[in-house]
Amino acid sequence: MKKDKLYEVRQISTIKEMLIQSADIYADRNAYLRRLKRGDSYTGVTYAQFKADVWALGTGFAKIGLSGGKRIAVIGENRYEWVLSYLASVNGDTMFVPIDRELASADIINLLKIAKVSAVVYSPKIASKLEGAKAELEGLEFMISMDATDEAADYTVASLMAMGKEAIDAGDTTFEDIVIDPNEAKIMLFTSGTTALSKGVLLCHRNICANLMAMCSMVNITPDDTFLSILPPHHTYESTCGILAPMFRGSCVAFSDGLKYIPNNLAEAKVSVLLGVPAVFELLYKRIWAAARQKGIESKLKTGLKLSNALRKVGIDKRRTIFKSVHDTFGGNLRLFVSGAAAIDPAVAKGFRDLGILFLQGYGITECSPIVTLNRDINYKDNAAGLPLNCLEVKIDNPNAEGIGEIICKGDNVMLGYYENDEETAKVLKDGWFYTGDLGYIDEDGFVIISGRKKNIIIDKNGKNVYPEELETFINKNDYVLESMVYAHEDGDTFEIRAQVFPNMAEIEQKLGKDVTSEQIQELMQSVIAEVNKRNPTWKYIRKVIVRTEEFEKTTTQKIKRYAKSNQE
């Protein structure tokens, strides 16, 4: 099996070392694009200024007694103060605890209690969820606001930075002198939005740095790149790949104003790289074709694709010229989409690439910091999760006759364990191998192909395995479907595979008119399922389809919460 040459990356052992290096190498380049207030244009923050701000905030934390391994929780949207708090905490004498801002108040407070935090850095947008937290939680000393004008807070990020800068100017080297142990637990990440199921994943600097060096050696990221930060920052996919990886490679990160503003932000910030989840990219792809239909240029776009693909076969690439109008819609600089969190329809990946935007997907899990496999920009397969990172081993445990088994891995990016939960740690860490709970196989070229989650697998009455994610991929390819979920329904001796489908009403109304009836929608969805069944053996047939009137409940990375489904039957 041929191995492609890796991109050269510098060696780092801690995140602090990485930031010091990047601030020196890329001092005058923009590390971030932020808005100082709503409605403003983007303002740049250089690498030199960012490092100075981190050092100031880290010193400010130490000045108020946040040291000695105390835990600092950070809760908020994608913004500069969130990243500052992350780097100031993880590079100081404290532990960083990111929390999902979308959780209910009771769940947030419960996680803060589990983590035994001493301070909470929060966005005013979630302040109401934290009411009473200080009184309720023993050991919670400080409420620190990301808003400089927040008078309800004990401190603000701005006031602590000012305090720290004054101390540094007076000769204080407390933060500078902190030596990071690469193997010490410095990050606690919770794995689930439901606190009854949550486990605190403990990561160290070695875990994160191994991931950064490995993934940046597989995909070329340059100082000329600008990322758009859209994913929840508490999630390790965003915090490692969307925040630290650009920092490592000298790229710039612009903060999004929200999901509905993505097209505008892409254009305004001249973004070249976007990390997202399948739901985001599938929506963008559908919008491109919907806009083409509305403008009456769908056939012209299809003709352009045929011409472009024919030229590429003879070594001529004119995609950015032929599809200039598409690229200009997104600012003209887009070159790379990277998708994670779930598998994407290969047709969407190829569709973007045909339009001149390279599309890659990877596979990761929080316990692996997070990337396990990644498609390369010079070697990829659209049906695969990618090739294993060079910092770890990947193999298939207990494969069946089809070669499908549990994906397990071992390497420097694998977590230290679960916080105060030796029993759960022992279930997934065995002889250094981490058992992911995901099923898949490795093909002849070394690519990992994921079949589904071990806990989601459907086993029929004859013992045959059905992977619901596979069937959902086929269903979701249809333009009349926005999302779906396949599951087993058992009632006494009756067993059948069913699907819940949330229809794409915009497409359906375009086909059947605004006065479309529920009966017509049901009939249309049944025809979609019938087409899916045609391509499968009878034991994989979906026997009933339920049309939903509301979308599925999801995690912040847009994965459907299967355990929270409402049958609507």
Which of 371, 418, 428, 424 lies closest to 202, judged by CA? 418
> What average pLDDT values come out for the chain (569 residues) when binned by 10 residues?
82 98 98 90 97 98 97 97 98 97 89 96 95 90 95 95 98 97 96 66 98 97 97 93 98 93 93 91 87 88 93 93 90 93 85 95 93 95 94 94 92 96 94 92 94 70 68 86 85 79 90 89 92 83 90 74 58
Tell me what pLDDT residue 196 has. 52
DSSP code string of 335-385: -EEEE-SS---HHHHHHHHHTT-EEEEEEE-GGGSSEEEE--SSS--TTS-
Q: Determine the Cα–Cα distance for residues 216 and 210; give it in Å rounded to an integer.
A: 10
Give whole-number Cα distances, 342 to 234, 280, 407, in Å: 18, 12, 15
Tell me what pLDDT residue 487 has. 85
Tell me what pLDDT residue 569 has. 57
Give strand ranges (E) for 371-479.
Answer: 371-374, 387-388, 392-397, 405-411, 417-418, 429-430, 433-442, 448-453, 458-459, 465-466
Tell me what pLDDT residue 459 has. 64
CB atoms within 10 A of CB 315: 6
Phi, psi at 321, each rounded to 5°: -85, -50
pTM (2 d.p.)? 0.83
Tell me what pLDDT residue 564 has. 56
Per residue, the 3-state secondary structure of 468-507, as one string, reads HHHHHHHHHCCCCEEEEEEEEEEECCEEEEEEEEEECHHH
Which of 411, 401, 390, 398 lies closest to 439, judged by CA? 398
Tell me what pLDDT residue 305 has. 93
Tell me what pLDDT residue 272 has. 97
Q: What domains, with CATH codes, occur in the chain? A: 17-180 (3.40.50.12780), 465-564 (3.30.300.30)
